[in-house]
Amino acid sequence: AQSVAQPEDQVNVAEGNPLTVKCTYSVSGNPYLFWYVQYPNRGLQFLLKYITGDNLVKGSYGFEAEFNKSQTSFHLKKPSALVSDSALYFCAVRPTRGTYKYIFGTGTRLKVLA
Amino acid sequence: NAGVTQTPKFQVLKTGQSMTLQCAQDMNHNSMYWYRQDPGMGLRLIYYSASEGTTDKGEVPNGYNVSRLNKREFSLRLESAAPSQTSVYFCASTEGPSTDTQYFGPGTRLTVL
C-alpha cells in the first residue's frame, strides 16, 4: 500500500537554530512531493513542491526541502527557525500515474522556542 | 480573490441528522477534493472530483455523498450523521493534473452528539 510517513509527532527547536522535519514515502514511480503548513484554526497552506530537477527545492518563508530518491525521503529544512514557524506541517505525495489522489502524512507539530 | 470558501465554519448535529457542507472556489479550477482531519491521522480523502461531472471515492467514503454542482461548487452530504463523523472537514482544489498545488478552504468543524 502507498503511504507517507512523518516519524516525529513533534519537533522542538530553539529560535535561530536550524530545523528539519522528516518525511519518507512508499509510492511507486516518480511521485510529486509537497509540504504544507497549517496554523491553528486555519486551512493548509502550500509551502513547496518537488516535481523534477534539482533535488533541493526552495519554498515560501525561507523553507527548503531535499529530495532523496534512494532513501525515498523529502525532508523539510530551514537554516534559522523563527517562533512564528511554530505550526503543524504535512508532507504529501501525489502518485504520477493514473490518479488525482494525494496521500498525506500524519503531520509533525513544530515548536520553536524563544 | 476569495480562493476556496466553505460553509458553515462550525456545526453541531445530533446522531441521525443530515447536513450538507458547501465548498466553492473562484480560481476556475478543474479538480476538487473533500478531506477529513482527525488528530494523529492527518488528512484522509473522502471524495474527489477530477473535473466537472465526475466524482470518485477516496479513502473513507462511507457515510458521505458528494455533488459537483458545477465547476465552482462541490458539496459534501452526511445523510445520517454518526459520532464517528465528528471531525474537521477541508475542501481543496487544484487547477488540474499538470498543476498540482492544492488550495485549501478554512475548514468546517463538525461535532456529532
Chain A CB contacts of B102 below 8 Å: 34, 36, 44, 46, 92, 102
Is B43:B90 a contact under the CB 8 Å cutoff? yes
Give the whole-angstrom CA distance, residue B32 versus residue B24.
Answer: 9
* DSSP-assigned letter for residue A84: G
For residue A76, give Cα distances in angstroms to A46, A58, A61, B66, B107.
Answer: 13, 10, 12, 34, 25
Across residues A66-94, what is the average pLDDT? 95
User: In chain A, whose CA is at the least distance from the CA of B39?
Assistant: A106
Rounded distance between C-alpha atoms, residue A66 and residue A57, angstroms: 6
* pLDDT number for residue A42: 85
Name the residue among B31, B6, B43 with its Cα closest to residue B93. Answer: B31
**What pLDDT is recorded for position B109?**
95
The pLDDT of residue B99: 62
Q: What is the pLDDT of residues B51-110, one digit of tens each?
A: 898 999 998 999 999 999 899 999 999 999 999 999 999 999 998 755 678 999 999 999
In this complex, the residue of A42, A94, A104 whose CB is nearest that of residue B42 is A104
SS3 label, residue B30: coil
Q: How many CA atoms lie within 13 A of A80 on its CB side?
A: 1
Cell output for A19: 530545523
Contact check, Cβ <8 Å, A94/B100: yes
Return the pLDDT at B70.
94
First and final CA of chain B: distance in angstroms? 36
Predicted confidence at residue A40, as pLDDT, reads 86
Contact flag A34-B31 (C-beta cutoff 8 Å) = no
Digit-coded pLDDT (tens) for A26-35: 988 888 999 9
Q: Is A109 on the interface with B (CB under 8 A)?
A: no
- Residue with the bigger pLDDT between B63 and A41: it is B63
